[in-house]
Every structure is written in C-alpha cells, then in structure tokens.
Amino acid sequence: MSYFLKLIMIVFFVCTLSYSSTISKINILDASQNIKLLSQKISKEYIYFYNIQDKKHLLKSIEQNILMLGEDIRLISTRTKDEKVKRLLAFFDYEKEQFLKILKEEPEANFVSATLDFSDSINEGAIFLSNYASYEYSFEEKMLLISQQIEFLSEKTIKYYMAVASDVKKLSIENKIAVSLQELEKKINIIQKYHYPKKYKSVVRDLSKYLKLYKKLYQSIKTVRIPAIALIGTKGFSHSVRKLASFHKKNQ
C-alpha cells in the first residue's frame, strides 16, 4: 500500500471519528435540553395538580412527561461511556422513580417542596450534561439554544408562580419569579434582534405579549393568583417559541 493511500485512510478514519463524536455530542446536548425543560414542566404540573387536584387531566400529562424524561436518559446512556455521566444518569433514574411514588400518594404540602427540589436537582444535572457535550456552536445553533432556553425559562417562571399560589408555608420564592422573568426578558431581547422572515414576525411579537402576561401575574401575586391562566400562558408560549426553534434547526 502506497504512502499516499495510507495517508488518505488515516485522514478518513480521523474525520469519521470526529464526525461520530460531534453527532454524539449533539444527541446528548439535545437530550439534556429536553431534560431541563421536562424537569420544570413536571414540577409545574404537579404543583398545579396540588392546587386543583384535577387527577384525570394532569396526572396523565405528568406521567407522559416522566416517560419522556426516561427516554432522554436512555438515549444519553447509549451515546457515552463516561463514568461521571453514567452516575448522573443513575441519579436521574432514582429521582424519577421517587417522583413516581409521590404521584401514587394523595397530594400534600410537603410534596410541593419535594417537587421543587426534584426540578432543581434534575436541572443542575442537565446543565452538567450540556457543558459535557458542548462544542463550537454555529450562529444558528446558538439561536436554537436561546429559543430552547426561552421555553425553559417560561416553564421555570410559572413553576415558581404555581408554588406561590399553592400557599405552602416556608416557600420564600417570589424573588425567584423576578429573577426568572429578568432572564426570560434578556433572551427574548436577543430573539427580537434576529432578522426573521416576515411570517415569523408575529411569533416574536407573541413572545413579548406572553412576557407581559407573566409580568402582570407576578405584579398582582400578593392579591390575585390565577394558576389556570398561568398554565394556559405556558402552553401558548411553548407553541410560539417552538416555531422559532424549528426555524433555527432547519437553518443549521
């Protein structure tokens, strides 16, 4: 075999490994973003369930989100052999099983605190996974991540709103709503500076409208609490921001 042919084979092998590694990182990053989002949605829905105890409607949604969480955990486990990641995924599985036990019990105030701890723990682990899988992002990939962060912050903000509305004692988290709103507004400001095609202009305006709704809910939280409106708001917010995420994904 000639030297030139050997060189081509080596270059091909290295490029294949690099491509495979990047694809694995993309898969892990995407799954970790899903896990972050699901951690907030599960917690938000459980606290709303505690507030109104509408078992038929909400328990099914919570169980479906936990199922999706399990699927993302399994996907990541097939993409890496890193021992730290494996231990983290085992922790996720444990937390998921503990949460399923809570769902079988009658709603209690201490479960509201437990579900907040659950969402925080899972989110922190997902941040580690995102950092583990990070690479040099393109501009469109950065915009995709920002749109995903916006949906995450929307769910996080309303999760805290639901917790305040639950009237559970010892939960001093109103300031966390304010912080989440500030972070959400910063991300939306970045989105507003992007030059979207005309058909997406109304979608960007919708995000600003939902942000205003969130601010009004927060400003009146000491006198009026409307969990049902907050829940509807997150659904509309998610529907809008996912259109932008889909746009950026196609543009990569």
Q: Is 3 helix (H, G, I), strand (E, B) or coil?
A: helix
6 and 130, same domain (yes or no): yes
Range of the domain at 2: 1-135
Residues 47 and 172 in one domain: no
Which residue pairs, CB below 8 angstroms and at least 24 apart, start in 225-234? 225/161, 225/164, 225/165, 227/48, 227/51, 227/52, 227/161, 227/162, 227/165, 228/52, 230/158, 230/161, 230/162, 230/165, 231/44, 231/48, 231/158, 231/162, 233/158, 234/44, 234/154, 234/155, 234/158
Structural domains counted in the chain? 2
Residue 54: what pLDDT?
61
Same domain? 20 vs 103: yes
Q: Residue 194: its pLDDT value, please?
A: 96
Instruction: Write the DSSP symbol of residue 200.
Output: G
The pLDDT value recorded for residue 183 is 97
Are residues 82 and 129 both part of a single domain?
Answer: yes
One domain for residues 156 and 220: yes
Please indicate whether residue 11 or residue 190 has the higher confidence score (pLDDT): 190
Angle at the Cα of 180 from the Cα atoms of 53 and 118, rounded to 5 degrees: 50
Pair (99, 153) in one structural domain: no
> Which amino acid appears at position 154 of this protein?
S
CATH no. for residue 130? Answer: 1.20.120
If you average pLDDT over residues 68-92, what whole number do you get?
Answer: 94
Mean pLDDT of 98-127: 90
Domain boundary among 95, 117, 135: 135
Q: Are 103 and 50 in contact (CB under 8 A)?
A: no
Q: Kindly state the average pLDDT of the residues 151-164.
A: 93
Residues 73, 145, single domain; the answer is: no
**Res 11: pLDDT:** 39
Single out the residue in 116, 135, 154 at which a domain terminates.
135
| 141 and 100 housed in the same domain | no
**Does one domain contain both 160 and 120?**
no
User: Which of 135, 151, 174 is the C-terminal boundary of a domain?
Assistant: 135
Contacts of 178 (CB under 8 A, 6+ apart): 218
Residue by residue, DSSP assigns 108-146 as: -HHHHHHHHHHHHHHHHHHHHHHHHT-----HHHHHHHH
* Dihedral (Cα; 61, 243, 152, 223), 10-degree rounding: -80
Same domain, 107 and 170: no
Say yes or no: 52 and 122 in one domain.
Answer: yes
Q: What is the CA radius of gyration of the chain?
A: 21
Which DSSP helix (H) or strand (E) runs through 104? Answer: none
* Interval 211-228 mean pLDDT: 84
Note whether 126 and 174 are same-domain residues.
no
User: What mean pLDDT is predicted for residues 144-164?
Assistant: 94
